[in-house]
Amino acid sequence: AQKITQTQPGMFVQEKEAVTLDCTYDTSDPSYGLFWYKQPSSGEMIFLIYQGSYDQQNATEGRYSLNFQKARKSANLVISASQLGDSAMYFCAMREGQYKLSFGAGTTVTVRA
């Protein structure tokens, strides 16, 4: 069974607007970590933001915020004030027992000027 589901293969967003990338996860472990990574066309994996399963508040890092809804098992990434440099593939990932990190299939974001 898929542990991480990203249902949006691709999205377009206008420059300076916000975009929400969906992510749902599946685990029975009470302790887990949720991560978002960015992969630009150059190919490197860039860590963006982390949310712990016991964290009471949604994580924020600059223009990135994570909308964590534990009961729904969702961890959506919000990118505010989109920039052309935000055009990339975005991956949601979950870390649980044995420290393994499982990735979703990814969402391609294209920012239009």
Binding residues (CB under 8 A) for other proteins: these are: 4, 6, 9, 31-33, 35, 37, 43-45, 47, 50, 52, 91, 95-96, 98-106
Q: Which residue number, 37 or 79, has a Cβ lying nearer to other proteins?
A: 37
Q: Which residue number, 23 or 79, has a Cβ lying nearer to other proteins?
A: 23
Q: Which residue number, 19 or 48, has a Cβ lying nearer to other proteins?
A: 48
Smallest separation, CB 113 to other proteins (Å): 26
Query: In sequence order, what DSSP letters do the residues of the chain get, joined into one string?
Result: --SEE---SEEEEETTS-EEE--EE----S--EEEEEEE-TT---EEEEEEETT-SS--EETTEEEEEETTTTEEEEEE-S--GGG-EEEEEEEE-GGG-EEE---EEEEEE-
Smallest separation, CB 88 to other proteins (Å): 14
